[in-house]
Amino acid sequence: MFQNPTCKYRLAFTLAEVLIALAIIGIVAAMTIPSLVQKFEEKARITALKKFYATITQAVQMAVIEHGTPDMWGIGEEPSVMLTYIMPYMGHAKMCGGGGEKCHASDKLYWRNGTSIENYIFNGDNTRFGLQLSDGMILGVYSAPGSGQGVTSQEPSNCSISLGTGKANNICGEYMIDINGSASPNTYGKDVFIFNLIKDGTLNPVGTREYTTSQYTFDEGCLAENAQGWGCTGWVIENENMDYWHCDNLSWDGKRKCSK
């Protein structure tokens, strides 16, 4: 039987070609995998933050039914009521701080600009408390938001603090959440976020367009590279992205994503 002599030969890559192909694949992977991991981490943090927002909003509403609006809680005299009043509605939460068990393993937090600060919110002394939530989140409170920024004369006990207009008025205190507990990066605008407790019993994510006090606005309190990161929460809740880490031309009245 006649056989085609060309069947004796098979096409194949040389060793050099294989090595070149592997090198190209490695370069592409090195360029794309970190970006994919970053996007996945940000998406997970956004989902966790929105879940927490829904949970604490419901908890505050239940606390209002039982104890009245926050201006009746006596926050100025006893800031821990911001936690004890909502604790029954936060699942299997555990009180920490107050000179007892530390709430947070890290002694440092980081501002959005990279500056490290003492973790006095989640590693409290005798006057500070926190909640360890069942999903690993850690919740802290501060009864005088805006301290040192021209609003120190306003009293948290009667919820008269103002950081802007609308929902940035009649503030009773701050809830600060570390959505992944003591795990890194422990950075405002990445895994640490702030909500204001309002006199009417609602919660407002800090950094929404109503805020005019600079450190609490989105522009100066989050988007700017030298920002502390206090003004990022409202952006994440409303726009469901953390693109302020990747571009600097975002605004409430303009671009809401780096890609647009």
Residue ranges covered by each domain of the chain: 15-245
H or E stretch including 95?
strand 94-97
How large is the average pLDDT for residues 74-81? 84
pLDDT tens, position by position, 140-167: 988 766 444 434 445 556 788 999 999 9
**Is pLDDT of 34 > 80?**
no
pLDDT tens, position by position, 118-144: 888 887 665 678 899 999 999 998 876
The whole-number pLDDT of residue 4 equals 57
Q: State CA 139 to chain mean position distance.
A: 11
The whole-number pLDDT of residue 36 equals 65
How large is the average pLDDT for residues 2-9? 56
The whole-number pLDDT of residue 152 equals 41
**Is pLDDT of 21 > 60?**
yes
What percent of the chain clears pLDDT 90, i.e. is strictly above it? 62
- Residue 129 has phi, psi (to 5 degrees) of -130, 165
pLDDT tens, position by position, 199-246: 999 999 999 999 999 999 999 999 999 999 999 999 999 999 999 999
What's the whole-model pTM score?
Answer: 0.83
The whole-number pLDDT of residue 156 equals 57
How large is the average pLDDT for residues 72-84? 88
* Phi-psi label, residue 78: left if phi above 0, alpha if psi -120 to 50, beta otherwise: beta
The whole-number pLDDT of residue 151 equals 43
Q: Which DSSP string do the residues of 73-94 spell out, in sequence order?
A: S-TTT-TTHHHHTTGGGSSS-E
Instruction: Please give the C-alpha separations between residue 108 and each of 48, 117, 120, 188, 257, in angstroms, as whole numbers.
Output: 22, 6, 8, 12, 30
Cis before 185 (ω within 30): yes
